[in-house]
Structure 1
Amino acid sequence: MDVALVGCGRISRKHCEALEKVEGAKLVAVCDLIPDKAESTGRQWGVPWYTSYGTMLSELHPDVVNVCTESGNHAGVAIDVMKRFGCNVIVEKPIALRLSDADAMVATAREAGVRLFTVKQNRFNAPIQMLKRALDEGRFGRVLMITSRVRWHRAQDYYDQAPWRGTWAQDGGCISNQAIHHVDMMQWLGGPVASVYAASRRFLHRMEAEDAAVATWQFASGALGAFEATTCANPRDLEASITVLGKEGEVEIAGFAVNQVRTWAFVDERPEDKQVQDASYIPDSVYGFGHEALFRSVLQSLATGQPNMLEGDEGRKALELVSAMYESIEMGMPVELGTPYPHSRLGGPHVD
């Protein structure tokens, strides 16, 4: 399938590298509003480059468009691509900054007869896949607590690279940018969330949004969740981990990209448990290696028509949790899921 990429920023390299390794995927063009970015990316990967995605899509008619623009522009670009050009879309995280925009994206895909997917590559990490399988098989018994810690390093120059970074209108802070993958994994593993109670600070960086946050979650199942995120770790990335504690088992996946099995113990030991360490790996960055498996999964779903665990509705689930935490931060009180979040600052002044 022919794939075109819109947005040649920091994450675009990971998309291009992964697509090159996926059989049946062909990167046919790239686009960015900044000519130098578009040209350098196009030359690096040996494909045509554009500064107008409308021109690119009109000329090439790709099967899939990967949207890697600023987060605040995900919705506008994705909706236009699906509605005007009839292309399937893979949109980077977060799916959007406003729930109303995410809903419009899902509705547009349905009306246009195309597919919308969101990037949650950590779901494909081998240790996370094993953890999910253990949960589905009931090995934990009653799940008691799920904890996620994202302790990463971002120097000021990271935020200074582009004027939109760390802004409420286009990005948000460590919750919506860096830790949204871990928000997604907590709800994917633990199921629906009833309420959240969050607090945040801006400790070290010159930016609008937060660089540190904590939250407690109440899962609908009765389990408790503990969430921690920051970009204030110094001098380097410290960890990105997730822990599940149950009545009959305990698992901790650690490393700086949920890539290392640190603890794997169950009351009902199985022979295959001795091989769990084989699932650990050393990634080249906090992005891990999940993009390749993600693209392979999406292209297979497009070829067969089968459902996929990364459909647009899945992206909305993580965004709602992020919105609820931002609402709680502004209100200073617990917030129930499924209610409006009018005080959330993510995406700029708005009422969803």
Structure 2
Amino acid sequence: MIRFGIIGAGRVVSPRYVDVFTQELKDTSVVAVCDLVREKAVDVSARLGAEVAVDKEALLKRSDIDAVIIASESGKHFEHAKQALLAGKHVVVEKPPCMLPAQLDELVALARTQQRMFAPIFQNRYNPAMRAVKQAAQAGRFGKIVLATFRLRWCRYQDYYEDGWHGTWAMDGGVINQQAIHHVDALQWVCGPVSEVTAFKANALNKLEAEDTMIASLRFANGALGSMEATTAARPKDFEASLSIVGEKGLVVIGGIALNKIETWDFIERLPEDDTISLTHSQEVPTGYGLSHGPLLQDIVSRLNDGSLEPPITPESCRPTIELVHAVYRSIEDRMPVQLKDSPLSVRLGRG
């Protein structure tokens, strides 16, 4: 039985983690929840049958907690994950695992020293549709990849940015680091690494320090070209989160609102399962969070119960995602293309 504590009871934890812990996970429980807004912690803890911790320090001191889920503001993930590791807890951290690549390196080293698991959450890697396209890419079914793109067309109204941290440079960033980071991760996971970025941004409808709309042109190390298009200025709801890959031997489009549906799956060299793959690997999902937190968290729990400290999604595999976000922002800041080999860092993201 892996016993969890949760730091942060906001937008992600309330609807998604409550369902996962009460309906899906085995061999686990939530012991305590804390949040700066006590009412949120009270609400979530009641639904989970957990206690309310006075603060994160009190939660981390508890000997009946084995692992901690970090679901606080993005800009606090590094600090909170570090404190949890130093307290001897395994750490599960929501996206982004931290704001700067160097912070990720520090947490990886600390987890190794503390002999604890450090597990980032990029749940879309567990979507059946995404797993299918990853396997196809690994099997070489695309041949030479020609073009790889994603589009995110989601809706966030101004009140979303009025909580003091969403959309700020120090604590969050804009659409590319908050909402679209899942899709940045999916793109680089399947087709990366990226070698060059040219990006542009706008504040189309929402007022925030960072951007609500951005586009970027990419050159991949394998020679493919690509693009990223993301906005929270779609109205009146979330419409699309899609990934498309064009290769010399086939084309795939993963769509839906959470990379959850196989919309096109067409290869020159067909396999028997291709005829039914859109049915067997597509999901209906209620929100952009999708349905893969449960399988990913269950994998984490199973590994911990087996005595393994190797997370299902390694922090090292997430580093290119953080680097690509920084390259996008640095291109916007310098108004010019940037090379990933130069390790470009934003002068604002994670700094203010």
Whether these two folds match at TM > 0.5 is: yes
Matches of residues 168-247 of structure 1 in structure 2 within 5 Å?
168-247=169-248
**1:72 aligned partner:** 75
**Which of 111, 120, 123 matches 1:118?**
120
Residue 54 of structure 2 is aligned with which of 51, 65, 73? 51
Deviation at 1:249?
Answer: 0.5
Aligned match for 1:318, one of 306, 318, 321 = 321
How far residue 343 of structure 1 moved from its aligned partner, in angstroms, is: 4.1
**Structure 2: which amino acid aligns with 1:102?**
L
Counterparts of 1:254-265 in structure 2, within 5 Å, are: 254-265=255-266
Equivalent in 27, 30, 38 of residue 35 of structure 1 = 38
Asked if the contact 1:146/1:244 (under 8 Å) is kept, the reply is yes
Query: Letter of the aligned partner of 1:107 in structure 2?
Result: A
1:93 aligns with 2:119: no
1:339 pairs with 2:351:
no
Shift of 1:191: 2.4
Is residue 199–residue 213 contact of structure 1 (8 Å, CA) maintained in 2?
Answer: yes
| SS of match in other structure, 1:289 | coil
TM-score between both structures, scaled by the size of structure 1: 0.95
**Is the 2:148–2:244 contact (alpha carbons within 8 Å) kept by the matching residues of 1?**
yes
1:206-258 deviations in whole A, cap 9, x for unaligned? 11110000011111111112111100111111100000111001000111111
CA distance in 2, matches of 1:164, 1:343: 18
Instruction: Name the SS for the 1:218 alignment partner.
Output: strand
In the other structure, the counterpart of 1:248 is: 249
Tell me whether 1:290 sits opposite 2:304 in the alignment: no
- Do the aligned partners of residues 343 and 66 (structure 1) sit closer, same or farther apart at CA in structure 2, a change above 3 Å counting? closer
- In structure 2, relative to structure 1, the CA distance for the partners of 1:308 and 1:38 (3 Å cut) is closer
Q: Deviations over 1:55-93 (max 9, x none)?
A: 12222442211000000000001001101x111101100
Amino acid at match of 1:126: P
2:265 is the alignment partner of 1:267: no
Instruction: Measure the CA separation in 2 of the matches of 1:197 and 1:273.
Output: 35
Partner SS for 2:205: coil
Q: Which amino acid aligns with 1:235?
A: P
Displacement, 1:177?
A: 0.1
Q: Are 1:38 and 1:51, in contact at CA under 8 Å, matched by a contact in 2?
A: no
TM-score, scaled relative to structure 2 = 0.95
Structure 2 distance, partners of 1:237, 1:131, is: 23
1:295 & 1:60 partners in 2: Cα distance? 21
Separation in 2, partners of 1:61, 1:194: 46
CA deviation map 1:179-200 (0-9, x unaligned) = 0000000110012111211111
Q: Unpaired segments of 5 or more residues in structure 2?
A: none
Counterpart-to-counterpart distance in 2, 1:280 and 1:340: 36
User: Cα distance 1:343–1:48, how it changes in 2: closer, same or farther (>3 A)?
Assistant: closer
Task: Report if aligned partners of 1:241, 1:256 keep a CA contact under 8 Å in 2.
Answer: yes
Contact 2:119-2:313 within 8 A present in 1 as well? yes
In structure 2, the CA distance between the partners of 1:296 and 1:33, relative to structure 1 (3 Å rule), is: same
Aligned partner of 1:165 in structure 2 is: 166
CA 1:61–1:337: 2 relative to 1, 3 Å: farther
Please list the CA deviations of residues 112-139 of structure 1 after superposition, one character each: whole Å capped at 9, or x if unmatched: 1111111100111111111111111111
What is the DSSP-based 3-state SS (H/G/I as helix, E as strand, rest coil) of the residue aligned with 1:4?
Answer: strand
- Number of residue pairs aligned between Structure 1 and Structure 2: 347
Alpha-carbon distance in 2 for matches of 1:217, 1:299 = 37
- Structure 2 distance, partners of 1:143, 1:73, is 37
Task: For 2:207 and 2:68, locate their aligned partners in 1 and report how far apart those are by CA, in whole Å.
Answer: 33
Hey, what's the Cα distance between the residues in 2 that align with 1:306 and 1:284?
32
- Offset at 1:144? 1.2
Task: State the AA in 2 paired with 1:300.
Answer: S
Moved more, 30-39 or 118-127: 30-39
Q: Structure 2: how far apart are the matches of 1:43 and 1:298? A: 24
Identical residues among aligned pairs (%): 37
Q: Which moved more, 1:189-198 or 1:334-343?
A: 334-343
Cα distance between partner residues in 1 of 2:75 and 2:335 = 25
Structure 1: stretches of 5+ with no match in the other structure: none
- In structure 2, C-alpha distance between the alignment counterparts of 1:124 and 1:318, rounded to whole Å: 16
Residue type at the aligned position of 1:293:
P
* Deviation (angstroms), 1:342: 4.7
Query: What amino acid maps onto 1:291 in structure 2?
Result: H
In the alignment, which of 76, 81, 86 is matched to residue 84 of structure 2? 81
